[in-house]
Structure 1
Amino acid sequence: MSKRRGLTPEDRELWSRVVRNTTPMHDKAKLPDPADPPRDHQPARPMPAPQPAATLPRGLRIGAASVGAKPHLHAPGPADALRAQPVRMDQKLHRQMSRGKLRPQARLDLHGMTLAEAGPELTAFIFSCHSGGLRLVLIITGKGSRAGDIGPLPTRPGALRHQVPHWLSSPPLSRVVQHVAPAHHRHGGTGAYYVYLRR
């Protein structure tokens, strides 16, 4: 750490003018005068001596998980987060949809698009389907498994797969979207979503 430098004579003169023209907010408040010699800083307290390391029970290694410790939980993927949400549609229809037995009435493939391109496409598609009276549509995002692509967020692998559920659950799309669920493997699996629209 570099040594703290003191005030220059010009700085001291300027500070003296500030002090002379300043009214304290409280009676006891007193601004330091730069003409006063600087107060010495208190010396740092000595560090305590290191304690000897405790001996570990036999068979326990450093870094090993302790007995009964909870495992580290990772943030759920988009499909898991959607499965954890309450069902907002008819339970029988939801079961059929989850098993891939309902055929989507329309589909939108967002493969190869950036977030900036996909957002307007998704919005126009959803509103068009809703105005046409469709109920179940399929949005294909892809799984984001392009190897070696480390571009910025709009082209990063998996960006659409993570962003599309957020778009669907946020205004303006949330006004017409009733339920979002991961697609059955025959309709794209983790690289696609079923979107059930309101009437």
Structure 2
Amino acid sequence: MTRRKRNLSGEERTLWATVARTVAPLRPEDAVVEPQEPPVAEVPAIATAPARGTATPAKAGKIGKAVPPPPPPLHPIERRTLTRVARGTIEIDGRIDLHGLTQLDAHDRLRGFLIDAQSRGSKLVIVITGKGKVGGEDPFGMNERGVLRRRVPQWLAEPGLRNIVIGFEEAHRSHGGGGALYVRIRKKRTLHKVGEV
């Protein structure tokens, strides 16, 4: 089976050219010089001073569209915090049990639960996925077990939940072990009205 060659996009070519310019070849006589493509003309933006009291617009892309900021990265929960949660010195602010739900229902309920937890000011919640059962022949994957245990961490890492979730870790045995996750909740940002300090 042969692999089909994938062409680089214009953005990938530009990135590669930028990186390649910063590297010195080990043997200059064998260096390959790539032909440069003509630069793409950008549409000049009309510079206008923002009106007094209005917010400065977000960074604009090539065509003037606002570029949203990237979602914040996930961070692991510190070992010390995990130990304190397992001992009961840090309280769990809420829990949700996703046992017996379809993936679609589980995803919707998880998202709603996390949004609600953030609005309540929760700091740490527990999500129970269940461990799933191993065994039984299932050649077509129709009765796959432990799907939520595998999918919930993927959902928690989605960009759409990064403004809510700081990080997550497998729960201690006393809280369900491999069938549950501790989830740290990000503090909700409050928007200030114009003129407020």
Q: TM-score, normalised by structure 2?
A: 0.50
Q: Deviations over 1:36-60 (max 9, x none)?
A: xxxxxxxxxxxxxxxxxxxxxxxxx
Q: 1:166 aligns with which of 144, 148, 154?
A: 154
Hey, what's the Cα distance between the residues in 1 that align with 2:78 and 2:174? 22
Q: Does 1:107 align with 2:95?
A: yes
Question: What amino acid is the match of 1:124?
Answer: G
The structural deviation recorded for 1:97 is 3.0
Q: Deviations over 1:21-42 (max 9, x none)?
A: xxxxxxxxxxxxxxxxxxxxxx
Q: 2:113 aligns with which of 117, 121, 125?
A: 125
Structure 2 unaligned spans of 5+: 1-73, 188-197
Do the aligned partners of 1:114 and 1:155 also contact (CA within 8 Å) in 2?
no
Match of 1:66 in 2: none
For the pair shown, which has the larger CA radius of gyration, 1 or 2? 1
Structure 1 residues 99, 187: CA separation in 2 closer, same or farther (over 3 Å shift)? Answer: same
Match of 2:132 in 1: 144
Structure 1 unaligned spans of 5+: 1-85
Identity among equivalent positions (%) equals: 36
The structural deviation recorded for 1:123 is 0.3
Structure 1 residues 149, 164: CA separation in 2 closer, same or farther (over 3 Å shift)? Answer: farther
- Following TM superposition, the consecutive aligned residue runs of length 4 or more in structure 1 with deviations greater than 6 angstroms are 151-154
Do the aligned partners of 1:149 and 1:156 also contact (CA within 8 Å) in 2?
no
Structure 1 residues 160, 154: CA separation in 2 closer, same or farther (over 3 Å shift)? Answer: farther
Q: TM-score, normalised by structure 1?
A: 0.50
Q: 1:184 aligns with which of 152, 159, 172?
A: 172
